[in-house]
């Protein structure tokens, strides 16, 4: 079930990129992971979050067409495509980067080949001041299949944690146990054509895409052309 959710998140990121939800980035073949994250942080503004009221009165969503998402998506893709050699730089980023860089490094780490050293992730889960970093650190431990090995520590950190969402993601990791993320999910992201970024246009036919349903079956947009309207709903944050 957890892989279905991660596969859904990966698919949502790629489909969202096509819809323009996700600016320039040094070529992946010439930039180190540290340089990629520094470039991303230099153009990303946490002040772009806008007031929406309700549960997040100080801001939670970004305006439609927010161009910095393109940089974020390109950087995320390039980090994952670099593979396990990116891991040391991303562990360093967890300790030294600014908030946007730490968040993105933590998120991308989960899609790298599983590592055995989770101490940097446990340190981030315990000490990072930003709940998004702590949340993704918990996710990585689960996605690497290392939660069972550090289950007692995760339960201890869950008891100490004050943020509801971080607590939930620690629980997700514990439920996953020793099951790592299936590598074909990462490969789907690595194989994604960056040229598809921002390819959808208002009042024009949507770009073709296919996603995997929670039942495991393939569902493609072409299956519904000329038959019915299709509404895409991305459940942000709880997948």
d(CA 130, CA 67): 23
What are 50's strand-pairing partners?
61
* Region 99-111 average pLDDT: 94
Residue 123 is encoded by which pair of tokens?
């340190």
pLDDT-derived band at 60, boundaries 50, 70, 90:
low
Least confident interval from 150-159, 180-189, 196-205: 196-205
Residue of higher predicted confidence among 141 and 210: 141
Q: Each residue of 122-163: pLDDT tens digit?
A: 999 999 999 999 999 999 999 999 999 999 999 999 999 999
| Alpha carbon 154 to chain centroid, angstroms | 21
pLDDT-derived band at 35, boundaries 50, 70, 90:
very high
In a domain, 231, yes or no: no
199-to-12, 48, 64, 95, 230 alpha-carbon distances in Å: 15, 23, 15, 36, 18
How high is the pLDDT of residue 65?
A: 64
> Which residue from 211, 221, 215 is spatially nearest to 12, judged by alpha carbons?
211
d(CA 115, CA 143): 10
User: Helix (H, G, I), strand (E, B), or coil: what is residue 237?
Assistant: coil
Measured from the Cβ of residue 176, the count of other Cβ atoms closer than 10 Å reads: 23
d(CA 202, CA 6): 29
Which CATH number fits the domain that encloses residue 12?
1.25.10
Residue of higher predicted confidence among 25 and 175: 175
In a domain, 165, yes or no: yes
For the chain, percent of residues with pLDDT exceeding 70:
77
How high is the pLDDT of residue 20?
A: 41
Residue of higher predicted confidence among 86 and 26: 86
For the cut 70, the answer to whether the pLDDT of residue 106 exceeds it is yes
pLDDT-derived band at 26, boundaries 50, 70, 90:
very low
Task: Compute, in degrees rounded to 10, the torsion defined by CA atoms 192, 198, 204, 207.
Answer: 10
In a domain, 59, yes or no: no
Q: Which helix (H) or strand (E) holds 140?
A: helix 131-143
pTM for this entry: 0.78
In a domain, 152, yes or no: yes
Domain range for residue 10?
2-40+64-224
| In contact, 178 and 150? CB cutoff 8 Å | no
In a domain, 191, yes or no: yes
Domain count, the chain: 1
Q: Each residue of 36-55: pLDDT tens digit?
A: 999 999 888 777 665 555 55
* Region 32-37 average pLDDT: 94
Helix axes 87-96, 99-109, angle to 10 degrees: 150
d(CA 111, CA 14): 14
230-to-16, 17, 42, 112, 224 alpha-carbon distances in Å: 15, 17, 37, 33, 7
Locus of tokens 């968040």: 103
How high is the pLDDT of residue 227?
A: 83
In a domain, 45, yes or no: no
In a domain, 232, yes or no: no
How high is the pLDDT of residue 107?
A: 94
Least confident interval from 3-17, 50-64, 159-173: 3-17
Q: Each residue of 10-25: pLDDT tens digit?
A: 544 544 444 444 334 4
Of the CA atoms within 13 Å of residue 8, those in its CB half-sphere come to 18
């Amino acid at each position: 079930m957890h892989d279905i959710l991660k596969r859904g998140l990966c698919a949502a990121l790629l489909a969202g990129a096509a819809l323009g939800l996700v600016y320039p980035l040094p070529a992946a073949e010439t930039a180190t992971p540290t340089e990629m994250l520094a470039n991303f942080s230099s153009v990303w503004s946490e002040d772009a979050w806008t007031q929406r009221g309700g549960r997040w009165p100080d801001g939670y969503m970004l305006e439609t067409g927010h161009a910095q998402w393109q940089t974020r998506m390109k950087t995320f893709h390039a980090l994952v495509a670099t593979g396990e050699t990116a891991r040391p730089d991303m562990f360093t980023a967890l300790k030294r980067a600014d908030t946007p860089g730490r968040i993105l490094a933590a998120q991308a780490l989960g899609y790298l080949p599983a590592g055995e050293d989770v101490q940097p992730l446990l340190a981030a889960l315990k000490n990072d001041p930003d709940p998004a970093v702590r949340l993704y650190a918990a996710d990585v431990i689960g996605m690497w299949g290392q939660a069972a090995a550090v289950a007692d520590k995760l339960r201890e950190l869950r008891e100490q944690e004050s943020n509801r969402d971080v607590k939930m993601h620690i629980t997700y990791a514990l439920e996953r146990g020793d099951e790592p993320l299936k590598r074909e999910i990462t490969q789907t992201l690595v194989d994604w054509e960056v040229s598809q970024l921002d390819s959808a246009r208002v009042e024009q036919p949507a770009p073709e895409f296919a996603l995997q349903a929670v039942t495991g079956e393939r569902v493609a947009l072409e299956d519904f052309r000329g038959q019915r309207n299709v509404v895409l709903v991305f459940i942000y944050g709880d997948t």
